[in-house]
Amino acid sequence: MSDQLSLGLLALILGIAVGTLAFLPYVAMSYRRHGRLTAGRTGLAFALLVYFLAIWTYTLLPLPDPDEIRCTTPQLNPWVLVEDLGTAAASGSPLTNPAFLQIALNVLLFLPLGFFVRLIWHRGWVTATLVGFALSLLIETTQLTGVWGIYPCAYRLFDVEDLITNTLGALLGGILSLAIPLRLRARSGEVDDARAPRPVSAARRLVGMTCDVLSVVLGSLAVGVILSLVDFLITGGDVSVDAAFWYQLAGNMVPLAVTLAYMLLRGRTIGNDAVQLQYVGARMPVVWSRLVRFLGGIGGYQLLSLLPDPWSLSVPALVLVSFVLVFTTKGHRGLPGLLSGQRLVDSRTPVKAERALERA
């Protein structure tokens, strides 16, 4: 039981890590496909991610030491399932029978798949059954081939009983998903006009700001990883103090240069572009208005982060001020709009309406 809890926790941690990496592209994709980002659709996507990671951890981990691997022989007799159920029933206490518990776990593990198939892909129990069978077959084949040749033989048992029970779980999940209220099914499958402009909300602004911060943090990590890998290949891992300083500086300056160039060329931050927002109504030259917005937003955050202590403590103050101004400024334009004197609108706003806003 402790091993199962550990694997479940691992799946959750991996889900948070992968979800963080995928958040920015997911937001951009949602606004371009659906015109908006909803909490329900986002929650379903994250749940699906954790679910597939849980299946991966439960069925393939822990990976064994190649020197300690024990080869297994495939179990191809489907009647073993009937025998195991008969033995469990004859014992008088199936809930304590290991074979029955294994069967129940295999069924329960694929039960949520039916709900995901209906809520995300808007398909019924037939599709859920086929998807469950295909996924289970992929898992069993991966085990049979020693993770596709990574190991010399199968270190886990290829069991046709698992294939049957996993497919049964997907089938039951597809049937049970029929109990989902029709209004919820319709809402999850609604078709949005992705081209229609939508109101600028505080939540939308905060999502865009979050995307900006993530792009900077992940960009800095990516630069650091790439430089460390190159250094390892060249020096064998012997990093000097001077080299570490320059690597850290590059990890800060490269994302700063990228975000500044993006703002000057596009007129928006990466986050605002993801949620399809833009500032209009410039009362100063275009380049200057973009530079002011950059310094009042993600650029200011990056520059203050470069300062030594105690000046770097100004970063939390900027974050707090930016957060408060999202809710207290007109149209949620925040600190960048307040400094530049501009308004924040949906970037899909028709040209005529946009020009009217600029004249206002």
Residue 216 CB contacts under 8 Å (≥ 6 apart), including other chains: 255, 256, 259, 298, 301, 302
The C-alpha atoms of residue 215 and residue 233 are separated, in whole angstroms, by 27
pLDDT band at 186 (very low <50, low <70, confident <90, very high): low
Does the pLDDT at position 317 exceed 80?
Answer: yes
pLDDT of residue 230: 79
How far from 199 is each of 25, 30, 313, 343, 348, CA to CA, in Å? 21, 16, 34, 13, 11
Residue 203 CB contacts under 8 Å (≥ 6 apart), including other chains: none
How far from 135 is each of 63, 93, 169, CA to CA, in Å? 20, 31, 12
pLDDT band at 85 (very low <50, low <70, confident <90, very high): low
Looking at residues 76-97, what average pLDDT do you find?
A: 68
Quote the percentage of the chain above a pLDDT of 70.
Answer: 85
Of 40-54, 82-96, 279-293, 309-323, the one with minimum mean pLDDT is: 82-96
Looking at residues 320-344, what average pLDDT do you find?
A: 94
The model's pLDDT over 346-359, given as tens digits with 9 standing for 90+, comes to 998 775 544 444 44
pLDDT of residue 360: 46
127: tokens are 């599709």
pLDDT of residue 359: 47
pLDDT band at 9 (very low <50, low <70, confident <90, very high): confident
Residue 93 buriedness (CB in 10 A; 0-12 / 13-18 / 19+): exposed
The model's pLDDT over 187-196, given as tens digits with 9 standing for 90+, comes to 554 556 678 8
The model's pLDDT over 130-173, given as tens digits with 9 standing for 90+, comes to 999 999 999 888 888 877 777 777 777 777 888 888 999 999 99
pLDDT of residue 67: 72
Looking at residues 59-77, what average pLDDT do you find?
A: 75
User: In the predicted model, what is the mean pLDDT of the chain?
Assistant: 83
The C-alpha atoms of residue 92 and residue 102 are separated, in whole angstroms, by 17
Residue 202 buriedness (CB in 10 A; 0-12 / 13-18 / 19+): middle
Does the pLDDT at position 262 exceed 60?
Answer: yes
The model's pLDDT over 199-214, given as tens digits with 9 standing for 90+, comes to 999 999 999 999 999 9
The residue with greater pLDDT, 231 or 303, is 303
The residue with greater pLDDT, 75 or 110, is 110
pLDDT of residue 236: 66
The residue with greater pLDDT, 341 or 282, is 341
pLDDT band at 119 (very low <50, low <70, confident <90, very high): confident
Of 27-31, 75-79, 218-222, the one with minimum mean pLDDT is: 75-79
The secondary structure of 295-317 as a DSSP string is: HHTHHHHHHHHTSPTTGGGHHHH
pLDDT of residue 58: 81
Cβ–Cβ < 8 Å for 128, 177? yes
pLDDT of residue 325: 96
pLDDT of residue 357: 46
Reference 165, options 140, 141, 146; nearest CA is 140
pLDDT of residue 201: 93
Looking at residues 291-319, what average pLDDT do you find?
A: 89
**Where do the domains of the chain lie?**
2-188, 202-359
Name the DSSP letter for residue 92: S
pTM here is: 0.80
Does the pLDDT at position 83 exceed 80?
Answer: no
Quote the percentage of the chain above a pLDDT of 90.
Answer: 38
Q: How many CB atoms lie within 10 A of CB 68?
A: 7
